[in-house]
Structure 1
Amino acid sequence: MTTWVLLRGLAREARHWGGFPDKLRCALPAGDTVVALDLPGNGALWRERSPARVEDMVAAARRTLAGVPHTPPYALVALSLGGMVALQWALEHREEVRGCVLINSSLGRFSPFWRRLRPASYATLLRLLAPGRAAIDRERAILRLTSNLPLAEGTQQAWTAYALEAPVSRGNALRQLKAAALFRAPAAAPGVPLLLVASERDRLVSVECSRAMARHWGAPLRVHPAAGHDLALDDPGWLAGLVADWKTRVS
């Protein structure tokens, strides 16, 4: 039995995974567990201060799991900034991590800043700093930037509700951006199984970031031809099947 821990990206929370956790549960063997975590400053933890270092995000995630009946080792499935958290977790606590699936993530060591965050996305990212009722326009803009495929009915309304119920503060968004910008992984890959997943048409983070990681680490890479940055939203069934197949191969 394996506990799968899902980690989201910048200013996103567990609920933004949408239907992916359920699809992953269905694709995995009976007995496997799927847990979606919120990092400080997001979701259920929106009142907390976001760390400005990925290492401190790892410590926060480990504290959260210490309070629930799930024991390591964990398989980490992580999107964007969450991928950096997963990677650091594997580097610091290899004995706790069974493997990592890194989705549309990036590393400063291997990719320039203009690939890690495409310049055309900067105006939308600035909306993360907009307070109050601006959440409606902001979430619409984020979905336009991160999703390429038809959305499940009610997605935009649900995301707007999340932003109003658990608003990410300007300071927390900036600290999360800082953590992502400053994170540097070592040249050597962590000593756990890796699967890199990317979207060819990602308009936020270039697919070349995942290709660079795959080249440097000799890690397998799977590329979706049409999805956007939020691959778990655009094609959750494809992603769940990919993860389940990877588990079978690794096992």
Structure 2
Amino acid sequence: MSTWILLRGLTRETRHWGRFPAILRDAVQTDSLLQLDLPGNGALVSLRAPGEVARVVTAVRLAVLQSSVPGPYRVLAMSLGGMVATAWAQQYPAEIERLVLINTSMRPFSRAPERLRPQAWPRLLSVAANWRRSQQAEAKVHWLTCNNHEERESDLAAWVAIRDSAPVSHANALRQLWAAARFDAGTVVPRCATLILSAAQDRLVNPVCSAKLAAAWGATHRQHPWAGHDLPHDDPVWTSEAVAEWLPQVADTEQNTF
């Protein structure tokens, strides 16, 4: 049975997945699911975040090695985590069996205003200005990334508790942003089967980034009609079912190929 590895995005950690991992585990019928923090976040909050994606890949691979979980791996990642997963699949193709990228973006496929919507900049600046004010910062992050507000108060309570227990430094946040901004996927298409998921109402990243990436790689692309940037938060059932429905399609295609 293949191991699923989950990677979050900029300044977020494993606890921000919420109930999604349990729903995904049931949908894809796996008992092997590993959630990893990127350096500078969560359990690794005391580490200096690398300023380039390649070095994050090194850290993630080391964490997987230390976990003793056998490969090859199926990686589901969003945003910055998606860039890390892409670089991992490009550099070490034998290690990655399946790739699911959620609301990610990267050069050379998308322009800067697409990768980070201009209308989001004022809110992001406000987040930076309120970085040490947990309630204010998380409320703005929630507005930027989530369109499902049914559990907003409990979300914010949980997110504030996470921030207070493992506060990401302002310097680490900037280094992660710098790594994301500089990442260029180049021309190497990952050899593994890839599913790209996007959200039509993403306020942070223009969903055209996912469409362009899928077109360039010939990858399967599905778009959620109303969710925001944090698609696994807004609709964890749809996200998990999209993955579960895709897996047998890939298996059928591979069988027909051989």
| TM-score > 0.5, shorter chain as reference | yes
- Residue equivalent to 2:14: 14
Q: Using the TM superposition, name which of 239-248 and 226-235 deviates more.
A: 239-248
- Residue equivalent to 1:5: 5
Using the TM superposition, give the Cα deviation of residue 123 of structure 1 relative to its aligned residue in structure 2, in angstroms: 2.5
1:72 partnered with 2:76: no
Using the TM superposition, give the Cα deviation of residue 32 of structure 1 relative to its aligned residue in structure 2, in angstroms: 3.8
Tell me, what secondary structure is at the counterpart of 1:72?
coil
Aligned residue pairs: how many? 249
1:166 partnered with 2:171: no
- Residue equivalent to 1:89: 88
Q: TM-score, normalised by structure 2?
A: 0.93
Tell me, what secondary structure is at the counterpart of 2:46?
coil
Q: TM-score, normalised by structure 1?
A: 0.96
Q: Is the 2:24–2:240 contact (alpha carbons within 8 Å) kept by the matching residues of 1?
A: yes
RMSD: 1.3
Please show how residues 1-251 of structure 1 align to structure 2 within 5 Å: 1-29=1-29, 31-126=30-125, 127-128=127-128, 130-132=130-132, 134-152=133-151, 154-251=154-251
Q: Is the 2:90–2:188 contact (alpha carbons within 8 Å) kept by the matching residues of 1?
A: no
Aligned residues with identical type, % of pairs: 45
Which residue type is aligned with residue 106 of structure 2? Answer: L
Alpha carbons of 1:142 and 1:95: their partners in 2 closer, same or farther (altered >3 Å)? same
Distance 1:73 1:103 in 2: 20
Distance 2:188 2:63 in 1: 28
Alpha carbons of 1:70 and 1:123: their partners in 2 closer, same or farther (altered >3 Å)? same
Which residue type is aligned with residue 111 of structure 2? Answer: P
Tell me, what secondary structure is at the counterpart of 1:204?
coil
Tell me, what secondary structure is at the counterpart of 1:211?
helix
Distance 1:129 1:37 in 2: 28
Using the TM superposition, give the Cα deviation of residue 70 of structure 1 relative to its aligned residue in structure 2, in angstroms: 0.8
Q: Is the 1:130–1:170 contact (alpha carbons within 8 Å) kept by the matching residues of 2?
A: no
Distance 2:208 2:115 in 1: 9
Using the TM superposition, give the Cα deviation of residue 8 of structure 1 relative to its aligned residue in structure 2, in angstroms: 0.4
1:41-93 Cα offsets, whole Å, 9 max, x none, are 00011110000010011110111111113111110100011000000000111
Structure 1 unaligned residues grouped into runs of 5+: none
Alpha carbons of 1:161 and 1:71: their partners in 2 closer, same or farther (altered >3 Å)? same
Q: Is the 1:124–1:138 contact (alpha carbons within 8 Å) kept by the matching residues of 2?
A: no
